[in-house]
Amino acid sequence: MFPEEIKNKMVEMGEPGFRGDQIFNWVSKGVDSFEEMANMPKSLRKELGEVFELTKNEILARQVSSDGTVKYAMKLHDGRIIESVLMKYHHGYSICISTQVGCRMKCSFCASTIGGLERNLTAGEMMGQVLAAQKDRGIRISNIVLMGSGEPFDNYDNVMRFIRLAHEEKGLGISLRSITVSTSGIVPGIYKLAEENLPVTLAVSLHCPDDESRSRIMPVNKKYNIDELIRACRTYVEKTGRRITFEYALMKGINDDIESFKKTAKLLKRLNCHVNIIGYNRVEERDFATSERAAQEKFKEFLEGRGITASIRRTLGEDIDAACGQLRNSLKTNI
């Protein structure tokens, strides 16, 4: 709930409105119970427990990579499990969160979609991933990427609510420019986000520059083809003035040849964008292999030679299956 929503409820209960801000502040610190809200009268704490439900994501397991990355398996209130990844950079801590339990996009190279979609996450369950990781490590997270399990635009309303909650100055106060939303190419979502007046970073999973090859590995392309996708991206840039990031995972024999490089450069010509080149991260059930580092360097050099900015993403957490495309429900419990 937003502070204003809690305030209104407090007034309904005969309490002063400022209690709403106090409660929101406590919840944003990740308290486990109303009893921990020390500046509240005992009688109110008891009443809050009767009126509201204070849920949290329970950390079932954590794995720490050799590079310091932490992967969490978190249990939701209904027993379902999601994964989140905490990463440390020179500029601070960043967390990759899930937006759904599973995913229905069926991208053939990704682990998150193997079991299909179970359900959407609420804004509170997304926030719970941030709060649980902060509390577990005793740190403050300054960057959020919505790139875990799930397609954010397939859960649009809850994702927008989460972004606004994360930005709320009375809570986490995370800059909107420090939040990245990733999509596999849900075109209506791109148009809607352009109207939200939220200066977040939009990341689009491209991976292939032509319809034939992209449709083969990303079924979403059959509904929203590359022409439609790029048209939406150009509109987004014009409307928001924000640069788009295109994710491109290099897979051996799939999209790492010179023709793919040429098509990508032509496709993105004169579009305010950045290409994030990713070494494909192995998924046990998938028959894909990553391209050599030399191919990644060649692609970067090729794009930059044609005026398109590009970088090679540093792979974090690969030894614990926490890298891009590897998140899934790796633990099973009875629901």
Determine, yes or no, domain membership for 66: yes
Determine, yes or no, domain membership for 254: yes
Determine, yes or no, domain membership for 335: no
- CATH code of residue 40: 1.10.150.530
In the chain, the percentage of residues whose pLDDT exceeds 70 is 92
Give the number of domains in the chain. 2
Residues 21, 143 share a domain: no
Pairing of strands 179-183, 141-146: parallel
Residues 77, 41 share a domain: no
| For residues 30-34, average pLDDT | 93
Residue owning tokens 């990427």: 145
Q: Measure the CA–CA gap between 126 and 137, rounded to whole angstroms.
A: 18
Q: Return the bridge partners of 310, or none.
A: 275
Determine, yes or no, domain membership for 290: yes
Q: Measure the CA–CA gap between 112 and 52, rounded to whole angstroms.
A: 33
Residues 277, 175 share a domain: yes
Q: Measure the CA–CA gap between 207 and 5, rounded to whole angstroms.
A: 41
Tokens of residue 164, six digits: 């606004």
31: three-class secondary structure by DSSP: coil
Residues 182, 139 share a domain: yes
B/e letters for 271-293, b = 16+ CB within 10 Å, e = fewer, are eebbbbbbbbbbbeebebebbee
- CATH code of residue 236: 3.20.20.70
**Catalytic residue list:** 83, 324
Determine, yes or no, domain membership for 76: yes
Residues 100, 40 share a domain: no
pTM: 0.92
pLDDT (0 to 100) of residue 164? 98
Q: Measure the CA–CA gap between 328 and 54, rounded to whole angstroms.
A: 26
Residues 145-161 have pLDDT tens digits of 999 999 999 999 999 99
In the chain, the percentage of residues whose pLDDT exceeds 90 is 82
Residues 300-315 have pLDDT tens digits of 999 999 999 999 977 6
Q: Is it the case that residue 327 has pLDDT exceeding 70?
A: no
Residues 254, 166 share a domain: yes
Determine, yes or no, domain membership for 202: yes
Residues 139, 178 share a domain: yes
Determine, yes or no, domain membership for 130: yes
Q: Maximum distance among all alpha carbons in the chain?
A: 70
Residues 306, 281 share a domain: yes
Q: Which amino acid is at 70?
A: V
Residues 217, 91 share a domain: yes
pLDDT (0 to 100) of residue 318? 58
Residues 20, 70 share a domain: no
Residues 184-202 have pLDDT tens digits of 999 999 999 999 999 999 9
Residues 253, 234 share a domain: yes
Q: Is it the case that residue 280 has pLDDT exceeding 90?
A: no
Residues 187, 307 share a domain: yes
Residue owning tokens 């990740």: 30
For 2, half-sphere exposure in the C-beta direction (CA atoms, 13 angstrom radius) is 12
Domain holding 98, by residue range, is 58-320
Task: Of 136, 135, 156, give the one whose Cα is nearest residue 146.
Answer: 156
Q: Measure the CA–CA gap between 286 and 17, rounded to whole angstroms.
A: 54
Residue-averaged pLDDT of the chain: 91
pLDDT (0 to 100) of residue 65? 86
Residues 204-236 have pLDDT tens digits of 999 999 999 999 999 999 999 999 999 999 999
